[in-house]
């Protein structure tokens, strides 16, 4: 007689669907993703996803909220870290460790470009400002330091989101830019984001 597998608890199934949704939204974007795609990625039915989260919009908000929560939690851990290490370096190291999960940075980017959306836009702005306030109030950065840190983070997001590292071997300008954006973490970033086998060759002319 075949032994039945134990049923997953509701909170475990919820995390399973959120993990799948993070990947699907990250790869397809908000407009391109569907609850059916999420359901298939999670190995559950589409009605189950809808019953658990409601609309696609609400599911994306959950994904965005979780990504921002993970960033804030990592930053707070870094703030409480070794005081001998400059705070910007601690925070930068924490953020680049998180980028090993591409879905985090991709869903942040998708959320930010939906700034005009009447529901998602306010949530994305609120999350962005939560990070800024953390840098100012908990990390003790000046307004200029916080702005510079966020600018560097957004540049890193763009470089990673467009998979610029896929052209690293064949384009000296890409190597130059990535060496500037990731002066201390370049080897780690490249190891965590190997190029796709279908990467197109860089354009010439």
Instruction: Evaluate whether 59 touches 49 at the Cβ level (below 8 Å).
Output: yes
Question: For residue 198, what pLDDT is reported?
Answer: 53
pTM score: 0.85
Q: How far is CA 133 from CA 48, 50, 66, 107, 126, in A?
A: 37, 34, 18, 21, 10
Q: Rounded CA gap, 152 and 146, in Å?
A: 10
Cα 117–119–122 angle (5° rounding)?
Answer: 85
Closest by CA to 107, choosing from 68, 74, 152, is: 68
Would you say 113 and 126 are in contact if contact means Cβ atoms under 8 Å apart?
no
CA nearest neighbour of 41 among 17, 62, 66, 65? 17
So where are the chain's domains?
A: 60-161
CB-count burial class (<10 Å; 0-12, 13-18, 19+) for 60: buried
Residue 136 DSSP code: I
For residue 199, the model assigns a pLDDT of 45
Looking at residue 205, its pLDDT comes to 43
Query: CA-CA distance, 153 to 101, in Å (whole number)?
Result: 15
pLDDT tens sequence for the chain (205 residues): 455 555 667 889 999 999 999 999 999 999 999 999 999 999 999 999 999 999 999 999 999 999 999 999 999 999 999 999 999 999 999 988 888 888 998 999 999 999 999 999 999 999 999 999 999 999 999 999 999 999 999 998 999 889 898 999 999 999 999 999 888 777 777 776 667 665 444 454 4
Dist CA 20 CA 52 (whole Å): 14
pLDDT of 97 reads 86
Handedness of CA 96, 97, 98, 101 (dihedral sign): positive
């Amino acid at each position: 007689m075949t032994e039945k597998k134990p049923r997953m608890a509701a909170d475990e199934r919820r995390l399973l669907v959120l993990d799948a949704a993070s990947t699907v939204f990250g790869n397809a974007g908000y407009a391109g993703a569907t609850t059916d795609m999420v359901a298939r990625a999670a190995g559950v039915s589409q009605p189950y996803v809808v019953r658990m989260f409601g609309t696609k919009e609400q599911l994306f908000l959950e994904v965005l909220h979780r990504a921002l929560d993970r960033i804030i939690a990592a930053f707070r851990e870094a703030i409480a870290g070794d005081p001998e290490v400059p705070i910007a370096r601690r925070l930068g190291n924490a953020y680049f460790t998180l980028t090993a999960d591409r879905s985090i940075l991709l869903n942040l980017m998708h959320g930010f470009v939906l700034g005009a959306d009447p529901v998602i836009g306010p949530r994305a702005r609120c999350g962005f400002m939560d990070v800024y306030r953390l840098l100012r109030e908990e990390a003790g950065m000046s307004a200029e330091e916080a702005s510079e840190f966020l600018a560097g983070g957004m540049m890193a997001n763009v470089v990673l989101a467009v998979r610029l590292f896929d052209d690293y071997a064949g384009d000296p300008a890409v190597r130059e830019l990535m060496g500037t954006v990731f002066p201390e973490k370049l080897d780690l970033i490249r190891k965590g984001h190997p190029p796709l086998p279908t990467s197109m060759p860089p354009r010439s002319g």
